Chain A
Amino acid sequence: MADNNLYCVSALFDTPDKIINAARKTTEAGYKKFDVNTPYPVHGMDKAMGMGQSKIGYITLFFGLSGAVFIFLFMWWTFASNYNIVVGGKPFLSAPAFIPITFETTVLFAAISTFVGMIAVFFKLPHNSHPLHDTEYMKAVSGDKFGLVIEADDEQFERNKVTEFLKSLGAFQVADVYLPEKETYKLFTSGFVIFLIILAIVTSAATYITLNKLMYVVPFSWMEVQPKLNAQEESDIFTDGKGMRPPVDGTVARGELPYPFYGQTNPPEVLSNPTVPTKKILELGKRKFLTFCSPCHGNFAQGESRLNGQFPTGPTLVSGKIINYPDGMIYHIITNGQNVMPSYMHQINREERWAIVDYVRVLQRAQNPSQSDIQEVKKESSSNVTK
């Protein structure tokens, strides 16, 4: 084999004393590119090879601290900014309660970075094609022998001199190690392509089945299947066949009062209005009137129905007749209904009904203003202008 294929000259020793002596002598002789291979770390070898302390600890320190800072700020950010959660009345930055996770993450980052740094950065592993692999030399140092190699790249390397030198150190075997021949492989062999196709099919099928079928099978069904009745469902437990139960007769909803004049057409007496027409009440009344009353009675209660004759038009509510009704009478009509107009007792609650009554009064006054009202409005608008 040509000499330019030579990787190194290797020597095997059989005791730790000899190898440490050899390492020291090799360093003293000025060789730089040499290595010692031992089945276990031999004490004092670093010194004999003229090597200082390993610097790998800095990786641990840097990534450990980064992990600590990162996770601490991250937890703070999730609590205080991204999604505020108050737990047990604690502040968003509850540092003592962050300690356990900060600690664990520090260790995690430190350990992983040290491991990856050692393997990938310091050792440049995996490296299974190294020339020393598969040699008698490697088999010996894997077991119970101690070896030293001087690489051909070294500036002082001269094959014969090095061989003599190693023999003089007491090696029981000295051998040349050559670089392995470069092997090249074709990337797309037919077998590999078929493998890729099968892999693609299997992966897509598995993904499809998982997301579209498996997720909807018990027990993965996300609790969709539950032995319970949903609203509006049938049930044969009750004689009426309904799953939902109507409230017991005479049930009064929270916030409501039983209406004493229900079912009477022209009650002899009516309730008096418990509300004061504040701005808030009137705004509520307006909103509810526009929602519930305006389709039949019009936006301004003038009887301009939007129903195009599909339902009897609601009459005007701003005529003298209604103006003269007591509040309680309008309330009665909303609550009880009148002839074709249905009852709104269940759609609109008590407070809202009174609010509507107040708002109807506003509409009436706005469309039948008294002289003083007009003057008041004029005063207001002119003062608005001058301002």
Chain B
Amino acid sequence: MSVDYSKEIPLVQGRLTMAELDEAIAKPMSIRPGKIYFIALAFTSGLLLLGVLGVSLTFYFGIGEWGNNQPVAWGWGITNFVFWVGIAHAGTLISAILYLLRQKWRTGISRFAEAMTIFAVMCAGIFPIIHTGRPWLAGYLLPYPNSHHLWPNFISPLVWDVFAVSTYLIVSAIFWYVGLIPDFATLRDRAVSKIKKFVYSLFSLGWRHSNRHWRHYEKVYMILAGLATPLVLSVHTVVSFDFAVAVLPGWHSTIFPPYFVAGAIFSGFAMVVTALVFMRKVLGLENVITIDHLDRMNKIILLTGSMVGYAYLMEFFISWYSGVPTEQYVAINRAFGEYAWGYWIMVTCNSLFPQLFWFRKFRRSIPAMFIVVVLVNVGMWFERFIIIASSLHRDFLPSSWGYFTPTWVDFSILLGSFGLFFTLVLLFSRTLPVVTMSEIKGVVEGAHPTHHGGDHDG
């Protein structure tokens, strides 16, 4: 298909009518899933069980089950945390920022991306909590009047994290649910079985598609998007403060906030593409989640990947320019020291392979983009690991230098988090509409009046 860039690409391919769209989107929820679905679910929940085992051992015996030790006291726990928070950001970017920028192509993928946001934040939230060693006391992190007469230290980046991540989870969930209400109503009115009707009625809150409601609804959607946009930027900024506020060479750097935000969007988009490539095929939504969507997402991956690459170079420049011998040592040690292998995996996966997306052919080829985005996921995980491990493993005194070696429990928890994520994604794909029905109907051709009294905003 050749694309004429002077014209808006149709957002829904194949000229589906609204009824057909409803049918296509609601179908996965009404039919019994096939064999492949159950095999996939068994695989992901197997991984999840492995994670549960690792976490239980950690609770029973303590953090000593992990590879963490002095000097690398933040091992995979924090690596995984930052990795998953980063993944989450793509969802909010697609649903909020692209909404404010009037990028209508987001419609087809926004619901799915938002769901991924919530699942990824859930995965992320687990790690700092289990890293405390006694997760059942995690409530101490919240400011509540208590018998110890103590408050959290509000000027610690780690407490900022608690506020940022939990606010992010709550606001994302609200945003997601607000989008779901009209769809629940549509599902309610399509439902035949009594139980389904009851459940959908419950969640639809008795929504009536009334225009007296739509009027406020659209405004609220806009407000929430407006709130979520600075929020998503703040969350990864705060995550980067965990490092940047510390006076450790390799962490103490002002480029961290923008670098982390770009990296987060980069890895998040890679994860969305990874999942969508399968989802659109398995759920039969190729006409709704089109190759054009993937193409545009790959462009964003190219952009943010280049920003991340720029940050890698800038780290070198700044360490040289600062004239601080320790900074210079850390930079050189990062690229050529004991963790050189990880550093170069990170650089090739994040800065080199995405450059293929300059070519239209690669952007629109499913196998090519799948390989690249998987590599990006790997590279971005390594980025966080390298930032943590290579900065910590050379302590200030050579006598306390060390090297981080993960244990099998570390592996099991990392795999378990993937298990949790994909199990939730699979369950989601069969229980909720993967595409926002009320929005996609609004972007098919002929969805809006041809003449409406000079009100031209769309």
Chain A positions near chain B (C-beta within 8 angstroms):
15-17, 19-20, 23-24, 35-49, 51, 53-54, 56-57, 60, 74-75, 78-79, 82-83, 85, 87, 90, 94, 97-98, 100-101, 103-105, 107-108, 110-112, 114-115, 118-119, 122-123, 125-130, 132-133, 138-139, 141-144, 218-220
Contacts and interface: CB of A to CB of B under 8 A. Distances in A.
Contacts of B153: 85, 87
A46 B211 contact: yes
B173 to A, nearest CB: 10
Interface stretch (B2-10, B226-234, B349-357, B423-431): B226-234
Interface stretch (B16-24, B368-376, B385-393, B414-422): B16-24
Given A56-B220, A104-B164, A118-B217, A41 B442 contact: yes
B238 interface: yes
Contacts of B455: 43-44, 47
Given A45-B214, A46-B215, A142-B190, A125 B205 contact: yes
A38 B448 contact: no
Given A36-B211, A37-B208, A111-B228, 12 more contacts: A16-B446, A37-B210, A39-B18, A42-B447, A44-B449, A44-B452, A54-B218, A56-B223, A87-B153, A98-B154, A104-B231, A115-B174
22 contacts: A16-B447, A39-B437, A39-B441, A40-B439, A43-B448, A44-B453, A48-B452, A74-B143, A82-B149, A98-B154, A107-B167, A110-B227, A112-B170, A114-B227, A115-B220, A115-B224, A118-B178, A118-B220, A125-B207, A126-B205, A143-B186, A144-B17
Contact of B206 (A16, A38, A97, A133): A133
A119 B205 contact: yes
Interface in B194-247: 201-202, 205-220, 223-224, 227-228, 230-231, 234, 238, 241
A83 B453 contact: no
- Across the A-B interface, give the 3 residue pairs with the lowest CB-CB distance, nearest first: A44-B452, A144-B18, A97-B155
Contacts of A23: 211
A122 B223 CA distance: 15
B164 A130 contact: no
Given A87-B156, A142-B190, A43 B17 contact: no
A127 B205 contact: yes
Contacts of B304: none
A232 B202 CA distance: 63
Given A87-B153, A126-B206, A47 B167 contact: no
B206 A40 contact: no
A43 B238 contact: no
B223 A47 contact: no
A60 B238 CA distance: 24
Contacts, number: 216
B358 to A, nearest CB: 37
Contact of B19 (A129, A132, A143): A143
Given A41-B211, A44-B452, A100-B160, A111 B205 contact: no
Contacts of B458: 43
A17 B458 CA distance: 15
Interface string B177-200: 110001001101110000000000
A38 B211 contact: yes
Contacts of A49: 211-212
Contact of A54 (B18, B216, B234, B241): B216
Contact of A219 (B59, B151, B154, B157): B59
A19 B22 CA distance: 21
A128 B211 contact: no
B450 interface: yes
B416 to A, nearest CB: 18
B321 interface: no
B100 to A, nearest CB: 15
B453 A48 contact: yes
B208 A108 contact: no
B102 interface: no
A129 B439 CA distance: 26
Contact of B223 (A44, A57, A133): A57
A49 B453 CA distance: 12
Contacts of B182: 39-40
B246 to A, nearest CB: 12
Given A119-B205, A128-B206, A20 B154 contact: no
A39 B215 contact: no
Nearest to A124: B206
Given A41-B217, A119-B205, A114 B185 contact: no
A305 B363 CA distance: 100
A60 B227 CA distance: 10
A17 B205 contact: no
Contact of B227 (A37, A44, A107): A107
Contact of A47 (B228, B234, B453): B453
Contacts of A128: 201-202, 205-206
